Amino acid sequence: MYLILKKMIDIITGIIGIIILIPLSIIIKIIFILNKDYDTIFYTQNRIGKKGKEFKMYKYRTMVINSDELLKEILKDKKIKKEYEASYKIKNDPRLTKIGKILRKTSIDEMPQFINILKGDMTLVGPRPVIKEEIKKFGKSKDMILSVKPGLTGNWAINGKNNLTYDERIKYELYYINNKSITLDLKIILKTITVIIKGEN
């Protein structure tokens, strides 16, 4: 019953998300153009899904168009490299655009993942999808975390996210997997809305 209800929620929210995505994408494209950024507003990155299956995750682009190439140059700085290897994030990332900072602050950049939800790559609530290099950080918890679909939001995402260590992240993701239910999903969805409104990302 849980899986059936979860699938129904994914389909309903996925359709609603896509409907919102259409006018939102037009508005974001206009803002990009007004800021003399004529490149695509979308960004795709390979992420790891259920059972280790790789898929392309969609986001609104928040960085300069050649961000992947620039990352190689940035990581030549040992201090930044150490920070990146610990969390696969850079706190004051120089690749972020002005629009990108706003999109991230409001979490609007994650909206295109409703496409992934409708495609079946992701679910509304679950562990956040990771890049291939991050899998090693899961350690013995790898199979457990990859036993479910990754989510647009999740237990780690609403409980500190960027302020947590990777071990703490795993702890929150495992808690969700071991206690997953529609009730817990609804609690996480409501908390997600609260976190976004407060600007806690």
Q: Give me the mean pLDDT over the 105-124 stretch.
A: 96
pLDDT at 200: 67
Q: Which residue ranges make up each domain of the chain? A: 2-62+97-198
Are 8 and 16 contacting, i.e. CB atoms less than 8 angstroms apart? no
> Residue 53 pLDDT > 90, yes or no?
yes
pLDDT at 12: 96
pLDDT in tens, 150-191: 999 999 999 877 778 889 999 999 999 999 999 999 999 999
> Residue 201 pLDDT > 80, yes or no?
no
pLDDT in tens, 63-102: 998 888 888 888 888 888 888 877 778 888 889 999 999 9
pLDDT in tens, 20-45: 999 999 999 999 999 999 999 999 99
DSSP the chain: -HHHHHHHHHHHHHHHHHHHHHHHHHHHHHHHHHTT--S-SEEEEEEE-GGG-EEEEEEE--B-TTHHHHHHHHTTSHHHHHHHHHHS--TT-TTB-HHHHHHHHTTGGGTTHHHHHHHTS-EEESSPPB-GGGGGGGGGGHHHHTTS--EEE-TTTTTTGGGS-HHHHHHHHHHHHHH--HHHHHHHHHHHHHHHHHT--
Q: Give me the mean pLDDT over the 42-52 stretch.
A: 95
Task: Return d(Cα 83, Cα 161) in angstroms, integer.
Answer: 15
Cα-based distances in Å from 197 to 88, 110, 151, 167? 25, 15, 20, 27
